[in-house]
Amino acid sequence: MGRNTYDLVSIFDEWPYLGKKVMVLSSRFPKFSVQLAEEVEGTSASPVEVVRQLESAGSAHVYVDGGKTIQSFLQADLIQEVTITRVPVLIGEGIPLFGELAHDIRLRHLSTTIFENGLEQSKYRVENAA
């Protein structure tokens, strides 16, 4: 995740990534709490370098979160599956999820789940660059 996303989720009452290794991609690192020191690592590595590091450490799947971070992984063609969760709230500002892309990216719909609280979550496989 990027620094902005980390700053947002780090103030939640409960850490949403408990038991998972988290890498914060940024050129400016936050001060990680003592409780999260073993689970959270800051890096200024490129998305390609991050994936290489995680693969060499045995990670088979990587969850990418945060608008700018998702954009950089998409631009590097490192995303095979996209999960989009829609919250029934219109917001007036923020970082666009996908931003400007050099080319269209074709997605194949895999599934959609609608939750009782109104959230809709759709999963897509990245097919190819259009």
Q: What is the pLDDT of residues 67-121, one digit of tens each?
A: 888 888 988 989 999 999 988 888 888 767 777 778 888 999 999 999 999 999 9
Rg, Å, the chain Cα set: 16
Give the mean model confidence (pLDDT) for residues 51-79: 89
| Confidence grade of residue 45 (pLDDT, cut at 50, 70, 90) | very high
pTM (2 d.p.): 0.79
pLDDT, position 34: 63
Helix (H, G, I), strand (E, B) or coil at 84: strand
Domains of the chain: 3-129 (3.40.430.10)
Q: How far apart are CA 89 and CA 24, in angstroms?
A: 27
Q: How far apart are CA 97 and CA 111, in angstroms?
A: 20
